[in-house]
Amino acid sequence: MTKAHIVGWAHSPFGKLPEPDTEALMQGVVQEALCHAGVEHKDIDGIFVGVYNNGFSAQDFQAALVGMGDERFAHTPATRYENACATGSATLHGALDFIESGRGKIALVVGAEKMSATPTAEVGNILLSASYHREEANIAGGFAGVFGKIAERYFQTYGDRSQELAMIAAKNHANGVFNPYAQMRKDIGVDFCATVSDRNPIVAGPLRRTDCSLISDGAAALIVADAETASHLKRAIAFRARTQANDLMALSRRDVLAFRGAAMAWQKALASAELDIMDLSLVETHDCFTIAELLEYEAMGLAPKGEGYRVVQEGLTQKDGALPINPSGGLKSKGHPIGATGVSMHVMAAMQLMGEADQMQIPNASLAGVFNMGGAAVANYVSILERVK
């Protein structure tokens, strides 16, 4: 068990928000996180900021914006991280390394993104910067096109699984109804998700609109502390394991259906924690597209390659199933403001372990997994969390 602990958090609503920029979004969660942890500005030894940006805003140098939003942080060391859609987890890992190296006792982690002010077509192109531009810059449909090609390959290899993808979407939307932070709190049902219509058109390859996560604004924050400091605070969530594994960026140079980096990250995390996947109480996983969640079932060891559909058909991952996956509604319902996503996923898992998830709560949750990935399973992060106080 590592010695860094999550001791507090905050989460904005996700969606099309009135805040004009990431500075305002971050400012909105920082004070709440401090209060939730029971610490003050002067206690923070380092600030770790996750914002993808890459064209969403002309303002960069995002680490300095926390001090702009609250001048009490003007002289606190602050560093910005970016690792595509895994930016939030990369930022958290940076803070954990800072604490575990002994350089500080308490750190603030904050992730944010302002996406809705950018035209939809531009959003797709900005997100395509998380692919290998030399080969993939002209894929139709932007970043959705990348996963559209992955879904096409999967269907060609293992059969049409459109129905199972619709079941994943419907599951996550049904769960999101009970998440007060979720962008789309509506149970839209399997039939709607499975049917191509004016309201649910094809976006890329076989992927329909309901197979794709939302364009979102939002922010989330975590306070992390060393074990000694955490022992004097109200809450403490420990990392039973945390791992990162990468894979080649170019789709042409790997088996895109294997999600090998994701599988490696899960294997390392479960081995380090001395657990089996079914020992977990729940998992928050990166469902940027429903085909991603299906492939992640296989990567985490719930089904052999090509048989993730069985997990869906058997109801294993439903909220009342043997291993609830995305009880928060996932990226599909909760939203996916890139820099905030990994931080948000850890907040959702920590809430479950503290019994503070209200209507999202999984009874007797004791171990939670988090999987956050950047690009098409290029940068892969797994955390296994447990409550220690």
Residues 6 or more apart in contact with residue 241 via CB below 8 angstroms? 268, 269, 270, 272, 273, 382, 383, 384
The verdict on 256 and 337 lying in the same domain is yes
pLDDT score of 142: 86
pLDDT score of 52: 98
CATH number, domain of 62, equals: 3.40.47.10
Domain assignment of residue 16, given as a range = 4-118+215-230
The verdict on 126 and 39 lying in the same domain is no
The verdict on 225 and 248 lying in the same domain is no
The verdict on 195 and 277 lying in the same domain is no
pLDDT score of 1: 43
The verdict on 241 and 356 lying in the same domain is yes
* CA quadruple 270, 273, 275, 278: dihedral sign: negative
Output the six-digit token pair for 23.
């500075």
SS3 for 279? helix
The verdict on 90 and 129 lying in the same domain is no
Give CA–CA dist 387/126, Å, rounded. Answer: 38
- From first to last of its 389 residues, the chain has per-residue pLDDT tens of 459 999 999 999 999 999 999 999 999 999 999 999 999 999 999 999 999 999 999 999 999 999 999 999 999 999 999 999 999 999 999 999 999 999 999 999 999 999 999 998 899 889 999 999 999 988 988 899 999 999 999 999 999 999 999 999 999 999 999 999 999 999 999 999 999 999 999 999 999 999 999 999 999 999 999 999 999 999 999 999 999 999 999 999 999 999 999 999 999 999 999 999 999 999 999 999 999 999 999 999 999 999 999 999 999 999 999 999 999 999 999 999 999 999 999 999 999 999 999 999 999 999 999 999 999 999 999 999 999 99
The verdict on 167 and 263 lying in the same domain is no
DSSP of 286-298: --SBHHHHHHHHH
pLDDT score of 2: 57
**Distance from the Cα of residue 363 to its chain's centroid:** 22
The verdict on 274 and 259 lying in the same domain is yes
pLDDT score of 254: 96
The verdict on 315 and 166 lying in the same domain is no
Give CA–CA dist 188/303, Å, rounded. Answer: 27
Beta pairing, strands 46-50 & 78-81: parallel
User: Minimal CA–CA distance to 86: which of 283, 372, 352?
Assistant: 372
The verdict on 61 and 107 lying in the same domain is yes
Phi, psi (rounded to 5 degrees) for 5 = -130, 145
User: Minimal CA–CA distance to 203: which of 126, 149, 135, 136?
Assistant: 149
Q: Kindly list the distances between the CA atom of residue 343 and the CA atoms of 119, 128, 255, 262, in Å, as whole numbers in the listed order.
A: 25, 22, 29, 18
Please report, to the nearest 10 degrees, the dihedral formed by the alpha carbons of residues 328, 334, 335, 341 taken in order: -30
Number of domains in the chain: 3
The verdict on 207 and 223 lying in the same domain is no
